[in-house]
Amino acid sequence: MSRSPATSRRSGRLLLALIARLHAYIGLLVAPFMLVAALSGIAYVMTPSLEAWLYRDALNGVQGGTAHPLALQLEAAQHALDDTALPAVIRPAPHPGATTRVMFAAPELGPSQHRALFVDPVSLEIKGDMTVYGTSGVLPLRTTIDLFHRQLLMGDIGRYYSELAASWLWIAALGGLALWLQRRRALRTQQGPAALRRRHATLGVLAALGLVFFSITGLTWSKWAGGNIAELRHAWGWGTPSVTTQLPEALPQAHDAHGEHGEHGHAQVPEAGRMSPADFDLALSAARAAGIDAALLQIEPPRSADRAWRVVEIDRSWPTQVDQVALHPQTMAVVDRTDFTTFPLAAKLTRWGIDLHMGVLFGLPNQLALATVAICLAVLVCWGYAMWWRRKQATRSEAHETLSEIFAALPWRARLGVVAIAIALGLALPVLGTSLLLVVVVDVLRWRMARRDPALSSSR
């Protein structure tokens, strides 16, 4: 049985009222977390230039002269530490005048952290000694800002703040866009104090695409929603390819740079502890011969006797260079490889999305664009609170003040649809689902209190 046009219009108006009320709740309850994420994000994307100045002594070496082999650079780092242990990673100097990072694992460091010695390839002088973090090897200043941006320097429990902000941001942006489309004619005529609502709506529309981008890419790093996204990508074959360092049973021919297996049978693989600093030069030469040509790369030695070397391009600017090869420790033949050009489209989009979010894909223009969107978000939050305060001071009553009133007035089909969408989003984004449940509980309590005391309704 089809609904009458009047019923459809009424249902549409109620759904818009529901969106408006939810948008107000997001602004009141979740916006403070969005504001913290926006301000810390601005600080994060602007740190590369500051770090280049702050750590210039560690990042820069002798501008002229011939660079020594990696073996001698590694031995200089070992001598400085008075330890012959091999590093976890070496990042050769990307250009003349830059330093090489020799990165060691240490039990006192946290996950994804290394102690990096910055070695001048020409003079072999140790130019710096500091802790670096993550795949991108960020330096201490950016590490601190990054951890504050993601988890308020509170560990895993702090990640709930950023996931809460990212989970609701796209809903706030799209909800605001829907409200603007419905009210845009009325907004044009608003003057005086009411003009703040027009400016808020206009700025939200201009920033909507960037805010949705922030939300989606931010969720990929989150604890709960990020895990669901990873499982979905894996199930659909959208995972990012990576080489395996597990050695095959058959030893490939030494001259094979493309991973085709020869028929030499089994070979004795040397233990990881028997590797020498000179092997890093051999691995670099083999990787270059195999087509690993990015200036920014890292060399990871085998972690056990049954593992291969891994040489990875780490240039995430445009054009992206993230190819990698696994090399047999005895012959330096390629036993596995991945090339970015062969990545599935979804994996490429994921890579580009993350690098855009971090401000590295297009360098300074990328950073300025991110900062602009983050500033827009901060302004929207402040304007939203100003609008709420003015409304609170005016103490005007409104129809359908609570979500519960609006939901109860909806036709049963619309209510069923709203519940189905809420359940689906709650399962996919658990932090959003939990917080939505809390909002609903508070809203129902407010609704019941208002029904018992009409005076409360007129003062909201």
Mean pLDDT by 10 residues, the chain (460 residues): 69 92 95 97 92 95 94 98 95 96 92 94 97 86 94 93 97 97 86 86 97 96 90 82 85 39 35 78 98 96 94 95 96 96 92 94 95 98 93 62 89 94 96 96 87 55
Per-residue pLDDT, 263: 33
Burial 285-309 (b: 16+ CB within 10 A, else e): ebbeebebebebbbbbbbeeeebbb
pTM given for the model: 0.88
Per-residue pLDDT, 164: 97
To the nearest 10°, the Cα dihedral for 326, 112, 78, 300? 0
Which residues face 128 on adjacent strands? 118
Per-residue pLDDT, 185: 85
What's the 3-state SS for the chain?
Answer: CCCCHHHHHHHHHHHHHHHHHHHHHHHHHHHHHHHHHHHHHHHHHCHHHHHHHHCHHHHECCCCCCCCCHHHHHHHHHHHHCCCCCCCEEECCCCCCECEEEEECCCCCCCCEEEEEEECCCCCCEEEEEEEECCCCECHHHHHHHHHHHHCCCHHHHHHHHHHHHHHHHHHHHHHHHHHHHHHHHHHCCCHHHHHHHHHHHHHHHHHHHHHHHHHHHHCCCCHHHHHHHHHHHHCCCCCCCCCCECCCCCCCCCCCCCCCCCCCCCCCCCHHHCCCHHHHHHHHHHHHCCCCCCCEEEECCCCCCECEEEEECECCCCCECCEEEECCCCCCEEEEECHHHCCHHHHHHHHHHHHHHCCCCCHHHHHHHHHHHHHHHHHHHHHHHHHHHHHHHCCCCCCCCHHHHHHHCCHHHHHHHHHHHHHHHHHCHHHHHHHHHHHHHHHHHHHHHHHCHHHHHCC
Per-residue pLDDT, 189: 82
Q: 100 and 92 in contact (C-beta within 8 Å)?
A: yes
Among 101, 126, 103, which Cα is nearest to 113's? 103
Which residues face 126 on adjacent strands? 119
Per-residue pLDDT, 269: 37
**Hey, how many other C-beta atoms are within 10 angstroms of the C-beta on 86?**
20
Q: C-alpha 100: how far from its chain's center?
A: 27
